Structure 1
Amino acid sequence: MATATDRAPHQVQVHTPTTQRVDVPRRGYDVSGGGIKTLLPERGPSTSQIIAVLVGVPTGGTLLLLSGLSLLGTIIGLAIATPVFIFFSPVIVPAVVTIGLAVTGILTAGACGLTGLMSLSWMINFIRQVHGTTVPDQLDSVKRRMADMADYVGQKTKDAGQEIQTKAQDVKRSSS
């Protein structure tokens, strides 16, 4: 077993700083003195900040007041209506269940319809990407193929007409 004297001694390195650290004051703050000046920026608020505060504080306060009044009205209404709900619960519970099921059915139907439309849209986009063409490009291609086919049929008709005419002339010559 190795003892402490058998091991190699640890080496210790001492690093001394070669440069001194200089505290750079942050922008807008006075680091030379103490007091409140160290917390305040050098410049005042901009005009847009002042307008935002002048508009935001009354608006926020008004909305907070309205939400408090709404909460208070809800609590008072619930306190008054609770005995009525308990008294009429044999009628209200089935009505709530029926209305809940109806709303659930309507929402489910809407979700299924929306899912179907999204699926159709996805399929159309997928088919467009697979074929690499859009509907107008496909229509142009179909028009060109139809025009080529019409030219081909017209040429075949002319050829057949000339062949019939040639045979008729041959028959006429051979019969005379």
Structure 2
Amino acid sequence: MFEILRAVSTAGTALALLLFAGITLGGSAVAFAVSTPLFVIFSPILVPATIATTVLASGFTASGSSAATALSILMWLYRKYTGKEPPKIPGLTPGAPKSKPADSGNKWE
């Protein structure tokens, strides 16, 4: 009895999901048919805007990654040639632990 109830509920769920998929496909087709002429009309504006946006985003990403790389190289050079850690910025670096952790008594660690 339980298997029949499970099969019926599973089939109903599958049919509902199939119906939702069909509605979504139909809506996508209608939206594509309506928006295609608008894209053709506005393409002289949209294509250069897309290219400009892509170039700007790529430039900002490259700039940020280059700056991060340069800062990490400078920090490494500072540590290498001075033999000490760079000055700490208050609030950004964690402080030293207050006390040592308790010894577990295991001499093989």
Q: Which has the higher contact order (CA 8 A, sep 6+)?
A: 2
What's the TM-score, normalizing by structure 2? 0.45
State the structure with more CA Rg. 1
